[in-house]
A and B are shown apart, each in its own frame.
Chain A
Amino acid sequence: MTEITENKPKNKVKLHREIWLILVVLTIALICSLVWRITHREPAAWAVVTVEGEETARYPLSEDQSQVIHGYNGGTNTLVIRLGEAWITDASCPDHICEKQGKISRSGQTITCLPNRVMIEIQGGEEQVIDGVVQ
């Protein structure tokens, strides 16, 4: 019993040191992530819209928006950009393949609508490449 009472204040004093260790490490971690964020800003990514091979518009992926694209022969596609991803929600063409192509967000990915001759390509921003694997 006496041992416990003797140990208690000693333990308390030392616990403070561990809290300092935790705080110091967390601070370093925070500073590292902040420095990383400031120095390595993600390159701006754009959804580039081309109709019949000619670029008609480009929208930043960083802004949530919805745009109607006027394609060949009066056809329209609705492009939605949300949370850094772009996809087509509505198309005037009969087969709606572009709607099924899913969401694109990385450089080089495309969505195409053949009947309207519309192509949406992501330019800039994160590449699809993995730069290394570590075990």
Chain B
Amino acid sequence: MEWFNKKRIAKKVALFGVLIALAFVFSYVEAMFPFTFLVPGMKIGLANLIVVITMYLMGTGAAFTVSIVRIILVGFTFGNLSTMMYSMAGGLLSFAVMALCRRTSLFRTEGVSMAGGVAHNVGQLMVAAAVIESAAMFYYVPVLLVSGLVTGGVIGFLAEQVMRRIRVYLPG
């Protein structure tokens, strides 16, 4: 039994490693080639794909770990404390909303991800408004709401497609 548990833990550690590495690499790719379309500053949030998939396959706690570790790693590697603050605010709010949406099974993956995308942008905007101390930021609200919806939808769709294909290979 002891040996069995150890094996399970090892599997879990390995899986976490893979997921965090993936999220990390997606962040890196996005930092290298900003997929800016429609609106300046708009990002598709590829790393969130991993968070969504983790949330569905391994549960809320695991997704939280992946999300936070990813933000801290990326913040220290490619950003600074300021960019980390934005990611953290967006990531936490987005995570809270997604966990809530999933817990209440209000939406499917796409809907959960959309709500998360919108929440992410709202979180970042709140930090931006606090930093710049100007209500002028809220001029950007409509743009960010819609872009969060679009990117969240894309990520949700991708997550659903990926999960359908990899579910078979994952340890119970």
> Which of A14, A22, A32 contacts B142 (CB under 8 A)?
A32
Name A's interface SS: helix
Nearest B residue to A18 via CB reads B111
Does B36 count as interface, using CB distance less than 8 angstroms?
Answer: no
The answer for the CA separation of A132 and B110 in the assembled complex, in Å, is: 34
B107: chain A residues at CB < 8 Å are 14, 17-18, 21
The answer for the CA separation of A93 and B82 in the assembled complex, in Å, is: 55
Which of A23-31, A55-63, A112-120 lines the interface with chain B? Answer: A23-31
Nearest B residue to A132 via CB reads B132
Verify B149–A22 contact, CB threshold 8 A: yes
- 8 Å CB contacts to A: which residues of B73-123? 82-83, 86, 106-108, 110-111, 114-115, 118
B131: chain A residues at CB < 8 Å are 134
Does A128 count as interface, using CB distance less than 8 angstroms?
Answer: no
> Which of B110, B132, B141, B149 contacts A134 (CB under 8 A)?
B132
Mask, A1-42, CB within 8 Å of B = 1, is 000000000010011011001100110111011001000100
The answer for the CA separation of A25 and B107 in the assembled complex, in Å, is: 15
Interface residues on A, range: 20 to 34
A132: chain B residues at CB < 8 Å are 132, 134
> Which of B83, B86, B108, B132 contacts A18 (CB under 8 A)?
B108
Verify B86–A131 contact, CB threshold 8 A: no
Known: A40-B139, A134-B128, A134-B132. A17 touches B149 (CB 8 A): no
> Which of B82, B132, B138 contacts A135 (CB under 8 A)?
B82
Verify B82–A36 contact, CB threshold 8 A: no
Known: A11-B108, A18-B111, A21-B115. A30 touches B142 (CB 8 A): yes
What are 6 contact pairs spanning A and B, CB under 8 A?
A21-B111, A22-B149, A30-B142, A36-B139, A132-B132, A134-B86
Q: A21-B107, A21-B111 are in contact. List 13 more A-B contacts (CB 8 A).
A: A14-B107, A21-B115, A25-B148, A25-B149, A26-B145, A26-B146, A29-B142, A29-B143, A131-B132, A131-B134, A131-B136, A134-B41, A134-B132
